[in-house]
Amino acid sequence: MATISDVAARAGVSTATVSRTLNGKSTVDPELAARVLEAAEELGYHPNGLARNLRRQETAVLALIISDVENPFFTSIARGVEDLAQVSGYSVVLCNSDENEDKERRYLDVALQERVAGVLLSPTGPATNVTRLRRLGTPVVAVDRPLPGTDCDQVLVDTRRAARQATRHLVANGYRRVACLSGPSGVRTADDRLSGYLDAVGEENAIYRRAEYRAEGARRAAGDLLDQPAPPDALLVANSTMAIGVLEALAARKLRAGRDIGIVSFDDAPWTTLIDPPLTVVAQPAYEIGRVAAQLLLARIADSTREPVTTTLDAQLIDRQSSHR
């Protein structure tokens, strides 16, 4: 494990010169530089990022803490973040909090301890706490869900409006008993989607269930709804992972989407056009969320005095067959 001083010794120069050569900072005599490069090559030298970061008090890595790696929505965000970060020379490490406060806290600690340059985070819920990170001056950007009680940059989707619109779409298509299957209470997107649904049908007509943002919970909740004496004739589903559970529940009861029960789901997962009938969805600009969030984070790293901004993107209803009789 060759160090900078090994290289210096071999090249017959000081460590300072080696450092300068390797970082291309101030000018170095071409001949010395060549000797340094050669020595480094021969020794198989690789800079120790730990020492460098310790000295420089900065890192070129961003942490992206998402709440579910198995959800295509979040992996699209990840790609957006990554693509933008990469061109600025940052690398992105992805951490999966798995909708679990403990894991999230642990990764937040890692980010803190490793002194990453910045953190992008989709908070698991109201308990998420980034004050320690903030105290240290590490910039944080919230994606998909706001960070309660903190004034940091945020990239959100107007999900309440989208839910309202989707619900009205179902009503306009002749469904009379539209229900909603949303995520856990306290998760902002879940709350907002439910609110949008309520906006559209009114409190008095509300039929809804909450479950984890997972297939399994959604299957049970959908089953529960469908087995009521007066079951709903349409369903707004809060994300594509849940939609899988819902569709399984339908299949188990030989119910056909569209004809028997109207379905609209959030998130345009790649498989939604493959099923019969194709799923009407609310497409969120996930990749764009990632890009914008990374932009905001980089801007804040460059200038910590910027006013925090909240960017709200629009979702788009893609009308397919599952919402038509």
Partner DNA sequence: TTGTAGGCGTTATCAA
Partner DNA sequence: TTGATAACGCCTACAA
Name the site residues for its own copies (rule: CB under 8 A).
1, 44, 46-54, 59, 61, 63, 69-70, 72, 75-76, 78-79, 82, 86, 91-96, 98, 103, 106-107, 110, 112-115, 132, 135-137, 215, 241, 244, 247-248, 251, 269-271, 273-276
Tokens of 283: 């497409």
Give every CB contact of residue 19 below 8 A, 6+ residues apart in sequence. 4, 25
3-state SS assignment for residue 264: strand
- In angstroms, what is the minimal distance from the CB of 276 to its own copies? 5
Residues 18-37 that bind DNA (CB under 7 A): 18-20, 22-23, 25-29, 31-32
Return the number of the residue (45 or 107) whose C-beta is nearest DNA.
45
Return the number of the residue (273 or 310) whose C-beta is nearest its own copies.
273
**Contact range with DNA by CB under 7 A, out of 4-12, 96-104, 141-149, 315-323:** 4-12
Contact by Cβ (8 Å): 152, 97: no
Contact by Cβ (8 Å): 213, 246: no
Give every CB contact of residue 43 below 8 A, 6+ residues apart in sequence. 2, 6, 7, 10
Q: How many residues bind DNA (CB under 7 A)?
A: 32
The binding track of 49-68 with respect to DNA, each residue x by CB under 7 A or -, is --xx-xxxx-----------
Terminal Cα-to-Cα distance of the chain (whole angstroms):
68
Q: Bridge-partner residues for 280, per DSSP?
A: 264
- In angstroms, what is the minimal distance from the CB of 187 to its own copies? 20
308 upstream amide cis, omega within 30 of 0 = no
- In angstroms, what is the minimal distance from the CB of 160 to its own copies? 27
- Which partner in its own copies, DNA, none is near 44 (CB below 5 to 8 A by kind)? its own copies
Alpha helices by DSSP H, the chain: 4-11, 15-23, 30-43, 49-56, 72-87, 101-113, 131-135, 159-172, 188-201, 215-226, 240-252, 286-302
Contact by Cβ (8 Å): 322, 280: yes
Closest CA to 299 of 71, 112, 84, 103: 84
- In angstroms, what is the minimal distance from the CB of 37 to DNA? 13
**Contact range with DNA by CB under 7 A, out of 9-17, 89-97, 116-124, 285-293:** 9-17
Contact by Cβ (8 Å): 107, 95: yes
One residue of 13, 156, 198, 211 binding DNA per CB under 7 A: 13
Return the number of the residue (59 or 167) whose C-beta is nearest its own copies.
59
- In angstroms, what is the minimal distance from the CB of 72 to its own copies? 7
- In angstroms, what is the minimal distance from the CB of 297 to DNA? 22
**Contact range with DNA by CB under 7 A, out of 43-51, 118-126, 250-258, 274-282:** 43-51
